């Protein structure tokens, strides 16, 4: 079947994967209100396209933390990718590198930092969950540094695991032929079957619920890598993140898998961008499935976006080729959106190119100054 948009991969993945695995990838927390909302909210933002601008050349390139990239679309950390495809994180790493973008490797990957590094060149970030055992965390961060990862994305929305009911019903566990490779040999590489979601039990046993702002400082004492805080949803926390030394902020609700009834990330983005006052870059993930979504996020002030589920679904459908295709489709759709909005570079994308439902009090740009 010819794939014409990113969302089509989900149906293929659903057909191909065992139910326990598909449900783990697809689910949100509890009522899954935020899961729907992450998508729906994009449809409350409409374009104000500008016309008669020469768009014969469009430049999608950007830099993230100083690294040059082909486009502002990156790969979010998603755990256990070998459940989707035997090549798992290797395939994702290669696809990201071929597309000239960044892959973020999950702490709970089924390939280790060293294995992913061995797939070849590429700019990669390492997502960190802070285990109770701080020596283990420090070791892992050192390994990521040695494997040439360029930043740490510290996940700050998961002191406990959100209640994902499908995982509870399915008694989710990691298939026995797989391990959380970063923890292999440390007796923490397995997610066993329990009377609950096995992952929820793992998190309850291993993850440090006491994690707080002082630990963001602590992390800076053990690494020189820039630290992105992943999971910020409010202006208050954006300010604290900057004061704590974060090099960037990822507006994320964990793909709606943690606290249900938080706003869609695209709704929370603007307050965080305003609070950040341009001091650090602000990124967004959650529900990005179209090039138009990418444009809307940038118009609201994001420096780039990350995608989660499209990667695991396309991986399940078609391995590395699937992930490459997802990145290509989003690239092409985003480029087309820019052209049709009259933007030739990311710098030309402005707040005036969109209007949101919550803009009714907002003044339209002043007339009559013709701004070409």
The span from the CA of 295 to the CA of 40, in Å, is 16
Q: State the nearest-atom distance from the C-beta of 39 to ligand FNR, in Å.
A: 8
Nearer to ligand FNR, 37 or 318 (CB): 37
Active site residue ranges: 254
Between 290 and 342, whose beta carbon lies closer to ligand FNR?
Answer: 290
Closest CA to 151 of 63, 211, 70: 63
Phi–psi pair at 229, nearest 5 degrees: -95, 120
* Binding interface with ligand FNR (CB under 6 A): 25, 38, 76-79, 106, 108, 127, 155, 230, 252, 254-255, 257, 285-288, 307-309, 312
Q: Is 319 annotated as a binding residue?
A: no
Per the omega criterion (within 30 degrees of 0), is the bond before 156 cis?
Answer: no
Question: In angstroms, what is the C-alpha Rg of the chain?
Answer: 20
**Does 308 appear as a known binding residue?**
yes
CB of 230 to ligand FNR, least distance (A): 6
**Shortest separation between residue 34's beta carbon and ligand FNR, angstroms:** 10
Q: Is 257 annotated as a binding residue?
A: yes
For the CB of residue 325, give the shortest distance to ligand FNR in the complex, in Å: 16
Confirm or deny that 24 is annotated as ligand binding.
yes
Nearer to ligand FNR among residue 157 and residue 271 (C-beta): 157
Q: What is the nearest approach in angstroms of ligand FNR to the Cβ of residue 236?
A: 20
Nearer to ligand FNR, 288 or 346 (CB): 288
Q: Which is nearer to ligand FNR, 127 or 201 (CB)?
A: 127
20-41: b (≥16 Cβ within 10 Å) or e: bbbbbbbbbbbebbbbebbbeb
Three-state DSSP at 37 gives helix
Binding residue per annotation — 286? yes
- Nearer to ligand FNR among residue 62 and residue 78 (C-beta): 78
Instruction: Give the burial class of 75: count Cβ atoms within 10 A of its Cβ; 0-12 exposed, 13-18 middle, 19 or more buried.
Output: buried
What is d(CA 63, CA 71) in angstroms, rounded to the nearest whole number?
A: 9
Q: In the complex, which residue's CB is closest to ligand FNR?
A: 308
CB of 45 to ligand FNR, least distance (A): 16
Classify strands 304-307 and 248-251 as parallel, antiparallel or unpaired.
unpaired
Please give the helix or strand (H or E) that residue 166 lies within, else none: helix 165-170
77 is in an annotated binding site: yes
CA dist list (Å): 14 to 24, 199, 275: 11, 21, 40
Annotated ligand binding at 120? The verdict is no
- Chain position carrying tokens 């990145």: 327
Q: How far apart are CA 227 and CA 280, in angstroms?
A: 11
Q: Angle 239-75-305 (CA atoms, 0-180°, nearest 5)?
A: 45
User: Which residues are annotated binding-site positions for glyoxylate?
Assistant: 24, 129, 164, 254, 257
Q: Binding site residues for FMN, as ranges?
A: 77-79, 106, 127, 155, 230, 252, 285-289, 308-309
Residue list for the binding site: 24, 77-79, 106, 127, 129, 155, 164, 230, 252, 254, 257, 285-289, 308-309
């Amino acid at each position: 079947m010819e794939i014409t948009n990113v969302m089509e991969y989900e149906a293929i993945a659903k057909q191909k994967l065992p139910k326990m695995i598909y449900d783990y990838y697809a689910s949100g927390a509890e009522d899954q209100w935020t899961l729907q909302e992450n998508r729906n909210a994009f449809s409350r933002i409409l374009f104000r396209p500008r016309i008669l601008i020469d768009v014969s050349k469009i430049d999608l390139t950007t830099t993230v933390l100083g690294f040059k990239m082909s486009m502002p679309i990156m790969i979010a950390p998603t755990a256990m990718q070998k459940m989707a495809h035997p090549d798992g994180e290797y395939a994702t790493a290669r696809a990201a590198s071929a597309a000239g973008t960044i892959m973020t490797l999950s702490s709970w990957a089924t390939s280790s930092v060293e294995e992913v590094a061995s797939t070849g060149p590429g700019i990669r970030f390492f997502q960190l969950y802070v285990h109770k055992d701080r020596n283990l965390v420090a070791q892992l961060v050192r390994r990521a540094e040695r494997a040439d990862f360029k930043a740490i994305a510290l996940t700050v929305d998961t002191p406990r695991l959100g209640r994902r009911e499908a995982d509870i019903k399915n008694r989710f566990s990691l298939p026995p032929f797989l391990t959380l490779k970063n923890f292999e040999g440390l007796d923490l590489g397995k997610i066993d079957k329990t009377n609950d979601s096995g992952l929820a039990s793992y998190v309850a046993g291993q993850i440090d619920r006491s994690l707080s702002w002082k630990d963001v400082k602590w992390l800076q004492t053990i690494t020189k890598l820039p630290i992105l805080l992943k999971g910020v949803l409010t202006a208050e926390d954006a300010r604290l993140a900057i004061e704590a030394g974060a090099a960037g902020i990822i507006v994320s609700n964990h793909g709606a898998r943690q606290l249900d009834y938080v706003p869609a990330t695209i709704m929370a983005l603007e307050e965080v961008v305003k609070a950040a006052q341009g001091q650090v870059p602000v990124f967004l993930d959650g529900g990005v499935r179209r090039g138009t979504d990418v444009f809307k996020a940038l118009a609201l002030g994001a420096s780039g976006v990350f995608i989660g589920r499209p990667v695991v679904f396309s991986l399940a459908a078609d391995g590395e080729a699937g992930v490459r295709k997802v990145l290509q489709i989003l690239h092409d759709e985003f480029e087309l959106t820019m052209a049709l909005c009259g933007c030739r570079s990311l710098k030309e994308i402005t707040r005036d190119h969109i209007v949101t439902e919550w803009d009714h009090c907002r003044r339209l740009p002043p007339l009559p100054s013709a701004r070409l």
